[in-house]
Amino acid sequence: MTKTAATHKYSNFWERNRKSNGYLLRKVVMDAAVRICRFILLFGMCFMILQPIFNKISVSFMEEQDLYNPVVIAIPEHFTTENYQRAAELMDYSHSLVNSLIVSLTIAVLQITVCTLVGYGFARFEFPLKKFWFACVLMVVIVPPQIISTSLHLHFRFFDILGIFEAVTGSPLNLRGSILPYYLMSAGCMGLKNGLYIYMIRQFFRNIPKELEEAAYVDGCGTLKTFIRIMLPDAKPILTSCFLFAFVWQWTDGFYSKLFLGKISLVSMSLARIGDALGALLQRLMGSKTMPSVGYVNCITSTGTLMIVVPVLILYLFAQKGFVESLSSSGIKM
């Protein structure tokens, strides 16, 4: 823009402001103030979320002497990657990572499969006591799983079906310590956060016009074929979001993992025991009862936390399109 054009635009602005009795200037100042406040709020929220992660990244590359050096704040003075090697050794990372991937992936797929069927049923079909059963779904969301932990423990510790196993073998089955109880709960929509997935999927299907299904019925499609070929393709965004939630919650779960999967090494359980494992390792190496310092334990814990978060971030990078699409469509339709 030339100097003459800029001068003309500037004078034209003040001329329009004079004709509007100062309204144009007030509007411009107000818009600028709103943008500045929005930037400050967004920057503050992003800083609150990202600052702990950046702090963990910085600490994970520090030697133990840097942790107690008041001069070192964010940038390590003695850069090292030994903390990652130590954390991987203490967590048995490669073995735990494979187990966690298998468990989280299979559980998430099973949960989304059954929750999709149940959510679609609540959205489209009428059956006896429908409101009562949906209230039970909401109770699954509201009631913490810790309340029924004793019942779950006893149920799977002495598992039986109509007394058949006890009649045949003389005693009920003990399913604790295996992944089978968790598969059974997930298949019955009683797994981790299953009630929430049913609610989300139900809300999504309720906002799809029924005319789509009616047109498919006219063309000769049955109920199952309509669900598979018409409804499921439209539900990809919400299914992607529910899958991400199911995978991440299972990836970081400690309650059900301790309750059922005690013999299976998972990254979440390995991280919870990393402090004790570090103390045992130092005692074995030093040959004494010397315990690691609190700062070094926190350093190794932060390093292990980052090693757990990275696979989830990679998964999100591949699924972010469907996740964002689900959020945008939810904001428009619901």
Q: What is the pLDDT along the chain (334 residues), one digit of tens a residue?
A: 555 555 555 567 777 777 777 778 788 889 899 999 999 998 888 888 888 888 888 888 888 888 888 888 888 888 888 889 888 888 888 888 998 999 899 999 999 999 999 999 998 888 888 899 999 888 888 888 888 888 888 888 888 888 788 888 888 888 877 788 888 888 888 888 888 999 989 988 888 888 888 888 888 888 888 888 888 888 888 888 888 889 988 888 888 888 777 677 888 888 888 888 877 777 776 666 667 778 888 888 888 888 898 888 888 887 776 665 555 554 444 4
Cβ atoms 302, 58 nearer than 8 A: no
Task: Give the CA dihedral 80, 86, 298, 57, nearest 10 degrees.
Answer: 40
Cβ atoms 112, 200 nearer than 8 A: no
Query: How far from the centroid of its chain's Cα atoms is residue 122's Cα?
Result: 25
Q: Residue 214, SS3? A: helix
Which residues, in sequence order, are bridge partners of residue 62?
79
**Residue 64 to residue 85: CA distance in whole angstroms:** 14
Q: How far from 248 is each of 31, 193, 260, CA to CA, in Å? A: 40, 11, 18
* Radius of gyration, CA atoms only, the chain: 28
